[in-house]
Amino acid sequence: MSSGIVVAPQPEAVEAGIDVFKRGGNVVDAAIAAAFVQTVVDPQMCGIAGFGSMQLFMPKQGGHFGIDFHGRAPKFSSETMWESLIERECDDGFGYVLKGRVNEIGYKSMTTPLTLKAFDLALKTYGSMPLSELMQSAINYCFNGFAIRPKMHAFWLAPEFAGRMSGVSRINSFEATSKIYLTEAGEVKKIGDIHKNPDMGEIYKRIAREGSEIFYSGEIAQRIEADMKKNGGLLRLEDLANCSVEDAKPLMGSYHGYEVATNQPPGGGLMILEMLNILENFDLISMGHNSASYIAVVSEAMKIATIDKDQRMGDPKYIDVPIEELSSKAYGKKMADRIKRGKKADVKRINAGNLESKDTTHLVAADSEGNVVNLTHSLGSSSGVVTDGLGFMYNNCMMVFDPRPGFPGSISPGKARFTAMCPTLLLKDGEVRLALGAPGGTTITMGVLQSIINVINFGMTAQEAVSAPRFCVTSNSIEVSNRIFRSVERDLQSFGYKTVRNPASYINPRVHAVKINKDGCLDGGADPVGDGMSAKVNILS
C-alpha cells in the first residue's frame, strides 16, 4: 500500500488533502482540494483571484512540468500612470510606496486573477476526481465556518509600518469587505471566533457546478467588470477572457550531485540556481552551520542575487533576461571568487525604509510512488477589495511593478512583475528527493536556499531543515532571528556588516518541505513560524 503526505501552513488545508488521499485520490486531487481550502481559511493570503507557480512531477502520467500563473497588468494600465506618485522603494526592493497607496490597496492595485484557471488546468491534466467533489471541503468551511487562527488574527492586527497600510485597513476600507470580516460592532474578530463567508460559498458552489469559465467569461466575470467600472478599477472583461496560464518547462540546474528543478522567470527560481551555483564553490560544512563566516558567505550570495534580480530579472516576454548566464556554473564561480577576494556587494535602494508584505501560502503534496505537487499561490498582500456578493478578495500585485518607466519591472499592459515564488524540487537518479517552497515576499528565496543547504550539506530532516535558525538578506543589512547567537552577530559586525536582530525565534519565510527517501518513506516539515502541519496517510488502491 502506498502512502501520501500533505504539508501546508493551515491544518484545515492539510486535513482536506489527507481526506482526498483516504478516498483514493492522487497527489493532484489532494493538492487542489487543500489549495481551495487555503483560499477560504487564509483569504487575505491567497484566493481564486490571485496568482502563483506550481510544479507537478508525475513520472507515470507524463513526467515533469510547471504551471506558472503570474498576474498580468490590465489593458488599461500604462508605464507612466504612477510615475509622479513615488515616495520610496521598499527596503527589500520588492514594491514601492506611492501617494494615496493606489498600488497597494483598492481597485487599481490588482492584476489579472489566474489562480482558479491554474487549479482547473492541473486537475484536468492529471487529476482523477471532479472539481465539484474537490471543492466541497472549501465550500463547507465557507458555510459552516472555521476558528480564527493566531496567524490570521495577527495579519489583521499588524500595524502600519514605514507608510505601509495596516492589516486592518485591508478589511475596513470597503463596505463589502467589512461586512464579511468585521463584527456587527465594527471590530476585528478574535482568535477562536468562528468565521463564515456564505457569499464565497455560493460562488464556489456555482464554480463547482458550472466550471471555472464562469469566472472568466460568464456571469461572474460580468459582475467583476461592473464593479471595476463603478469604482475606477483597471480590470475589464477583455483582461479576464484573454488571460492565460503558462505551461512552463522547469528551469534546471544542479547542486552537489542533485538536479535542481525550479520555476522560470518572472518567478524566483533563477535566484535559487544563481545562489546555489555561487555557494557550491565553498566548503560550507567546514565553516560550521550558522557560524559568522558561513552567514557572511551565504549573505553575499543573497546580495549578489538580489542585485541581479533588481537589475536583470523580470518578465521574459518584455525584457531580455540573461537566464543562461545567471544560471551558469561559470557565473557562479566568478561571483564566488569576488566573495573570496573580500568584495562586498552593494544593494542600492531608492529612499529605502520599508519591507514588502509577506502574505502568501504554500503546500506540498506527495506520495511514496514519487509523485509530487509543489504549489505557491498568493494575493500579494491583498487589495482589500471584495465585489459585493462574490465573497473573494482580489490580489494587489500592481504594488510590485516599478512606477518608473524604462526599467525591467516597469508597468506595461499584459506584463507580469517579478515574484520570489520558487517552488523547487531536488532530484537524484530521476526521482524527487526534496520538494519545498514558501510564502514570504522576497524572503522566500532566502529561506528556500537555506533549507536546501540544511538538507543537502548538513543532512537534516525536513522538519529540522525548515526549523533551523535563519537569517535573511534582501538589502545591505543581515536580518538574524533571535536564535542566531549574539556572539556570531558580534563577529559579523566586526566583519563590517550591519545586522538587525529580529525579536522572533522563527522568521519569514514559512518554508514547507517534503523529503522522499529511496525507499519511498515520506518526511515532512512545516515551518514553526506559522500555524501549519505535516500529515501522512495510507492511500486506498
Q: Across the strands, what pairs with 248? A: 66
What whole-number distance in Å separates Cα of residue 153 and Cα of residue 144?
19
Based on the residue annotation, tell me whether 360 is a catalytic residue of this protein.
yes
User: Omega of the bond prior to 266 within 30 degrees of 0, cis?
Assistant: yes
What whole-number distance in Å separates Cα of residue 416 and Cα of residue 395?
13
44-to-39, 50, 396 alpha-carbon distances in Å: 8, 10, 10
Question: What b/e sequence results for 51-68 when a residue is b if at least 16 CB atoms lie within 10 Å of its CB, and e otherwise?
Answer: bbbbbbbbeeeeebbbbb
SS (H, E, C) 407-471: CCCECCCCCECCCCCCCEEEEECCEEEEEEECCCCCHHHHHHHHHHHHHHCCCCCHHHHHHCCCE
Question: What b/e sequence results for 491-529 when a residue is b if at least 16 CB atoms lie within 10 Å of its CB, and e otherwise?
Answer: bbeeeebebeebeeebbbbbbbbbbbeeeeebbbbbbeb
β-pairing, 498-501 vs 477-480, is parallel
Catalytic residue among 115, 360, 376, 442: 360
What whole-number distance in Å separates Cα of residue 369 and Cα of residue 420?
29
What whole-number distance in Å separates Cα of residue 506 and Cα of residue 512?
13
Q: Could you give the strand order of the β-sheet that contains 498-501, starting from the edge strand earlier in sequence?
A: 471-472, 477-480, 498-501
What whole-number distance in Å separates Cα of residue 467 and Cα of residue 45?
22
- CA angle in degrees (0–180, nearest 5) for 312-316-321: 30
What whole-number distance in Å separates Cα of residue 190 and Cα of residue 181?
11
One-letter amino acid at 270 equals L
DSSP states of 39-82 as a string? HHHSTTT--TB-EEEEEEEETTTTEEEEEEE--B--TT--TTTT
CA 136 centroid distance within chain: 24
Which residue, among 227, 234, 236, 98, has the nearest Cα to 175 in the 3D structure? 227
388-to-70, 79, 181, 350, 367 alpha-carbon distances in Å: 25, 30, 13, 38, 40
Contacts of 133 (CB under 8 A, 6+ apart): none
Which residue, among 499, 516, 515, 512, has the nearest Cα to 13 in the 3D structure? 512
- Residue 372 C-alpha cell reads as 509530487
Catalytic residues: 360
